[in-house]
Structure 1
């Protein structure tokens, strides 16, 4: 297995993407420490993982709370012996569907402030242990992209761009200690579009039409790619983005 013996912390593991990544890690042998704000959602993901023979533990952690994040990372290392993979998938609270000229400053800045704060806190907590271990992988989700013409995304991309700047700096500072940092980009995952969302079918059709393969990445695809990137098979990969957009995003 690609991640046998590794310990992975997934923030926002109760969500669709976080859960998929956690399942991908567990499938490849990692012990997965699931965190989030809703115990019931975490328990469901943990049950799915255990049903497939995987190992998962849960903890209610606010990934915007500095003390809570640091304490949880320390507890993982104290119990498991290492913290090898960190992946933050919490919601950034972006406000979409409203033109920028009609938005409030608070709504535009929300995903920027939230994304930067939580990514900084969780990456720092992991990096303190990874630096000592001289190994580890920090994964970021999002990535820079071209302006969205068909839909108003508010501060979403501004937030993603800020995270990319942070990820590049993390890569530079932690590379000498054997710690890697990589961003995953998807271009959109139809499975996360709510079925009752007004105009949802058009959104999904637009996502698929934008690809070169005529299909989008699935949640399972995201989990499997995350597991590969976190493994030693990708040990030469850092300060980079992984494009799993089926050609919707052109590098």
Structure 2
């Protein structure tokens, strides 16, 4: 039996590289994956690959920053069965590579506002149905950590710290209802860097050099770990972070 057989999983931002990798892994482990995002064409590209591999998938245009859009989609998924997994992987609109002293307040604030709002909306929508079921898993991506010295990341780390505070509170309130909350952390995934990014090679080497395994985590690595964490095999895991950094991050 596969890890997620019979489960329904929503992946917000399913058209992005990380979202697609997670959705593909969920489907390969037997879940019916519900891809949600603002660009349907990108979602359909991912869905076509999942269907070609024999997976079950649906797509929906959802603005993960809009309360009504999120709630209506979650209600529709739950109405067809259960809502077992929610993973929000939308982009936060962060600006990187610009020192803080040169950054506009709008660019600094954007990832914080975006991350907090979207995660609250999607976690709340999922939890309302999971409470009725007495089970479920809400996954987050990012995690807090030490300041980044080698590269300017703007407000991204602040956003991650805010999400971790939310995750801890969600774990405390939702745990009695059988709902787990877990964050996946990486030390950077080179595959997510734009092909034309000027400092790509240098950044790739920098990420790999910091790891204990001598390599960076791949998108496939993240997908495989996410599928395990979302499954009942990980039913004792909550209020925690999972390190998917090849040893770049030391807990």
TM-score, structure 2 as length reference: 0.99
- Correspondence for 2:84: 84
Instruction: Write the distance in 2 (CA, Å) between the matches of 1:107 and 1:47.
Output: 35
Residue deviations 1:95-118 (CA, integer Å, cap 9, x gap): 111111111111111100000000
- Correspondence for 1:151: 151
Q: CA deviation at 1:26?
A: 0.4
Instruction: Write the distance in 1 (CA, Å) between the matches of 2:95 and 2:85.
Output: 30
**SS of residue paired to 1:32:** strand
Instruction: Write the distance in 2 (CA, Å) between the matches of 1:150 and 1:38.
Output: 33
- Correspondence for 1:44: 45
Residue deviations 1:187-244 (CA, integer Å, cap 9, x gap): 1001011121011110111111111100011101111100000001100000000001
Q: Are 1:194 and 2:194 counterparts?
A: yes
- Correspondence for 2:204: 204
Matches within 5 A, 1:85-124: 85-124=85-124
Q: CA deviation at 1:9?
A: 0.2
Instruction: Indicate the RMSD between aligned Cα atoms, in angstroms.
Output: 0.6
Flag structure 1 segments of 5+ consecutive residues without an equivalent. Answer: none
Deviates more, 1:21-30 or 1:96-105: 96-105
Q: CA deviation at 1:49?
A: 0.6
**SS of residue paired to 1:26:** helix
Matches within 5 A, 1:1-251: 1-79=2-80, 81-251=81-251
Q: CA deviation at 1:121?
A: 0.2
Instruction: Write the distance in 2 (CA, Å) between the matches of 1:116 and 1:181.
Output: 15
Instruction: Write the distance in 2 (CA, Å) between the matches of 1:216 and 1:7.
Output: 30
Q: CA deviation at 1:40?
A: 1.0
Instruction: Write the distance in 1 (CA, Å) between the matches of 2:248 and 2:206.
Output: 10
Instruction: Write the distance in 1 (CA, Å) between the matches of 2:196 and 2:103.
Output: 24
Residue deviations 1:2-27 (CA, integer Å, cap 9, x gap): 00000000000000000000001000
Flag structure 2 segments of 5+ consecutive residues without an equivalent. Answer: none
**SS of residue paired to 2:86:** strand
Structure 1 runs of 4+ with >3 Å offset: none
Instruction: Write the distance in 2 (CA, Å) between the matches of 1:218 and 1:101.
Output: 33
Instruction: Write the distance in 1 (CA, Å) between the matches of 2:216 and 2:96.
Output: 21
